[in-house]
């Protein structure tokens, strides 16, 4: 069988990278010809994870090469979040924990989507259902993905199953979950070497809501105020992106990972939707969303409903 690629979404986060790597291990143990790849640069958090796990980063691809006939998607399904030529290849599998939208295939395929906090939680179940051993290294990768997506179990997207599986993985990985988790999350908030344009693109996803194109970028921080010292530069860059990509709304979500709040910055001709969705008033284009940390569960759903 010809090689299949496994990859997560553009602007990959720790789940997209680690789930691709862990699923590669799983498939190789079954004798399948697969390669985990990535669709963008690693963030600081993921760099920390791979360094601690002593694992090389997956190969970066711009598009799926002609020689590849089939791919496996992890941690995403919406085509606009996937590789640019996704419509030209056969998708044989999807393992994901997001809503399904802007996704279709011509052929039956294998799909496993569950409303849990992290793709790695589903993958851990798949390892077990198939009696495939989880190595210490894979356990660390899977655990890191869960810590990242659930903000160390503090996000409302975190289910009891995520936490239970994470604690079991921590035993296999021989990791102190609180200590390692905090160090990992903090590593991700080191943005000292980032240009403003890089900050905005780091963890940005595009959504279609009604007839509107909406981009939602998220930045995790220990100190929200520090990010907004650059508000002027951020706004200039966001307005550039809105114009270039013809967006109706750009929402920057800066999330305080210690206190579990977010302060958003909304620009674009549909920014009023943010006020409606969250019952807040934008002051200088900004608003504090108390207790909001999850783009998927607390932002996309509510904002989508207003379009």
Toward a copy of itself, which CB reaches closer, 105 or 259?
105
Toward a copy of itself, which CB reaches closer, 88 or 226?
88
Toward a copy of itself, which CB reaches closer, 23 or 180?
23
Q: How far is the CB of 126 from a copy of itself (least distance, A)?
A: 11
Nearest to 141 by CA among 74, 204, 48, 71: 48
Toward a copy of itself, which CB reaches closer, 157 or 189?
157
By the criterion CB under 8 A, which residues form the site for a copy of itself? 97-115, 129, 296-297, 300-301, 304-305
Toward a copy of itself, which CB reaches closer, 105 or 269?
105
Q: How far is the CB of 304 from a copy of itself (least distance, A)?
A: 5
Q: How far is the CB of 104 from a copy of itself (least distance, A)?
A: 4
Toward a copy of itself, which CB reaches closer, 97 or 213?
97
Query: In angstroms, what is the C-alpha Rg of the chain?
Result: 19
Toward a copy of itself, which CB reaches closer, 43 or 298?
298
Q: How far is the CB of 301 from a copy of itself (least distance, A)?
A: 6
238, 252 Cβ separation under 8 angstroms: yes
Toward a copy of itself, which CB reaches closer, 122 or 257?
122
Three state DSSP letters for the chain: CCCEEEECCCCCCHHHHHHHHHHHHHHHHCCCCEEEEECCCCCHHHHHHHHHHCCCCCEECCCCCCCCCEEEEECCCCHHHCCCCHHHCEEEEEEECCCCCCCCCCCCCEEEECCCCCHHHHHHHHHHHCCCCCCHHHHHHHHHHHHHHHCCCCCCCCCHHHHHHHHHHHHHHCCCHHHHHHHHHHHHCCCCCCCHHHHHHCCEEEEEECCEEEEEEEEEECCHHHHHCCHHHHHHHHHHHHHHHCCCEEEEEEEECCCCEEEEEEECCCCHHHHHHHCCCCECCEEEECCCCCHHHHHHHHHHHCC
Q: How far is the CB of 15 from a copy of itself (least distance, A)?
A: 13
* Cα end-to-end span (Å), the chain: 45
Q: How far is the CB of 91 from a copy of itself (least distance, A)?
A: 9
- What CA–CA distance (Å, rounded) separates 63 from 122? 27
Q: How far is the CB of 8 from a copy of itself (least distance, A)?
A: 16
Q: How far is the CB of 5 from a copy of itself (least distance, A)?
A: 19
């Amino acid at each position: 069988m010809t090689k299949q690629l496994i990859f997560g979404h553009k602007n990959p986060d720790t789940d997209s990278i680690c789930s691709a790597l862990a699923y590669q291990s799983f498939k190789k143990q079954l004798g399948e010809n697969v390669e985990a790849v990535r669709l963008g640069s690693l963030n600081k958090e993921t760099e920390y994870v791979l360094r601690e796990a002593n694992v090389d980063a997956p190969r970066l691809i711009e598009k799926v090469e002609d020689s590849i006939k089939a791919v496996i998607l992890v941690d995403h399904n919406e085509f606009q979040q996937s590789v640019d030529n996704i419509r030209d290849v056969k998708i044989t599998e999807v393992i994901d924990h997001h809503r399904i939208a802007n996704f279709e295939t011509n052929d039956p395929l294998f799909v496993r989507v569950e409303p849990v906090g992290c793709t790695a939680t589903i993958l851990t179940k798949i390892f077990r259902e198939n009696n495939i051993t989880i190595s210490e290294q894979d356990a660390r990768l899977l655990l890191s993905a869960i810590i990242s997506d659930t903000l160390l179990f503090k996000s409302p997207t975190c289910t009891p199953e995520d936490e239970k599986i994470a604690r079991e993985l921590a035993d296999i990985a021989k990791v102190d979950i609180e200590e390692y988790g905090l160090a990992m999350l903090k590593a991700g908030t080191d943005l000292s070497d980032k240009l403003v344009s890089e900050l905005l693109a780091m963890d940005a996803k595009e959504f279609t809501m009604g007839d509107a194109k909406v981009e939602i970028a998220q930045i995790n921080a220990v100190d929200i105020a520090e990010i907004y010292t650059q508000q002027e530069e951020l706004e200039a860059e966001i307005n550039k992106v809105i114009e270039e990509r013809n967006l109706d709304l750009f929402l920057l979500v800066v999330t305080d990972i210690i206190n579990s709040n977010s302060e958003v910055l909304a620009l674009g001709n549909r920014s009023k939707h943010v006020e409606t969705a969250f019952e807040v008033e934008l002051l200088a284009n900004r608003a504090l969303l108390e207790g909001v940390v999850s783009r998927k569960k607390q932002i996309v759903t509510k904002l989508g409903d207003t379009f």
